[in-house]
Amino acid sequence: MKPALLVSLVILAVGLGGLWLVIHQDLSQKQAQLQTISAKLAQLPTEVEVPVFTGTARDIQQLATISATAALVIDKETGAQLYANNSAEPRYPASTVKMMTAIVARQIYPLDRLLTVREEAFADGSTIGFQIGEQLTVRDLLAILLIHSGNDAAFVLANNAPGGYNHFVELMNLQAKELGLTSTQFVNSSGLDDPEQQTSAEDLAKIGARLLEDPLLAQFVRTKYLTVSDASGRISHPLVNRDELLGVVPGVIGIKTGTTEAAGENLVTAVQAGNRQTILVLLGSSQRYPEMTQLMRWVNSHYSWKTVRPPAE
């Protein structure tokens, strides 16, 4: 056999071998992708309840009297919007920011970690009244943050984070991106007004849904009264949830209030009905509790839930 022909055959064999290897690798990747998809499909429910609007366009006008500048109602299971008004427009979040503060704190701290109060004892706005040098567990700080809406607790959690306060806020913004939030920017952990700190009703509904996935945080936002103590047991902090609907309106299970001069009255509410949860958001309201009650009643009057079974494979 001529040397040139031999070389050509060797090159051809090597090329075919490389092509076979590429095809084999591609098939392996496709098989892995199919296995992942099959696993996800196996986790899907055999049936799902979907909301069905039973009203008319005129019925929607019943909510025109609400003073809130933005509003949203979603079905948590399906993500369907049951009512929306300016729901994607940026607004001041006020203390609804603390939902994200709690989510990030849960990711970076063990619950029994002791954190020390420093200058946060003199935080502005809503506070619990810490003493400088006081030590509390992360669990109790989360309770103060979500139940009593303590700005001082928000700063303690952020200031003690690895990398410091600014890094903690960076983690809040990173979490916002991971949740797919499009109108949210955080600059502090408490919700104090800042022109650069904005969110939307749609984004807050997503944050609220994420918070409810954590059993401990979900427990705190539905707790009306609790007393926590510092590590020494000598300093007690009685907590009162600021949500006036909690324990009064059946089905309400939290989530978070927020009020500042720039934001007005904000309220994110979760309602449980059987296995179904609805998340409602009002931003910039002048009377959030009556308006939230009106919104809940409207949803109950104009929506029903229908059980749908996915088609067979």
pLDDT in tens, 171-205: 999 999 999 999 999 999 999 999 999 999 999 99
Confidence of residue 36 (pLDDT cuts 50, 70, 90): low
- On whether the CB atoms of residues 238 and 133 are closer than 8 A, the answer is no
Burial category of 87 from C-beta neighbours within 10 Å (exposed 0-12, middle 13-18, buried 19 and up): buried
Predicted local confidence at residue 10, as pLDDT: 45
Percent of the chain beyond pLDDT 90? Answer: 72
Question: Quick one: which of 89, 88, 56 has its CA closest to 74?
Answer: 88
pLDDT in tens, 40-59: 555 655 677 788 888 788 88
Cα dihedral across residues 121, 225, 286, 91: positive or negative: positive
pLDDT in tens, 70-117: 999 999 998 999 999 999 999 999 999 999 999 999 999 999 999 999
Distances (CA, A) of 47 to 79, 137, 183, 275, 300: 16, 42, 33, 13, 22
- Which letter does DSSP use for residue 64 in this model? G
Predicted local confidence at residue 304, as pLDDT: 85
pLDDT in tens, 192-240: 999 999 999 999 999 999 999 999 999 999 999 999 999 999 999 999 9
Active site residues: 95, 98, 149
Predicted local confidence at residue 124, as pLDDT: 85
Integer Cα distance of 254 and 128 in angstroms: 20
Predicted local confidence at residue 309, as pLDDT: 75
Has residue 284 got a pLDDT over 60? yes
Confidence of residue 19 (pLDDT cuts 50, 70, 90): very low
Distances (CA, A) of 259 to 140, 151, 186, 192, 210: 23, 12, 16, 9, 22
Q: Which two tokens stand for residue 289?
A: 């509790």
Confidence of residue 5 (pLDDT cuts 50, 70, 90): low
Task: Work out the number of other CB atoms within 10 angstroms of the CB of residue 183.
Answer: 17
Distances (CA, A) of 199 to 15, 173, 238, 273: 56, 11, 30, 28
Delimit the domains of the chain by residue range. 55-302
Mean pLDDT score, 236-259: 97
Predicted local confidence at residue 33, as pLDDT: 66
Predicted local confidence at residue 234, as pLDDT: 95
Predicted local confidence at residue 237, as pLDDT: 97
Has residue 245 got a pLDDT over 80? yes
Q: Which residue has the higher pLDDT, 38 or 248?
A: 248
CATH number of the domain located at residue range(s) 55-302 in this protein: 3.40.710.10
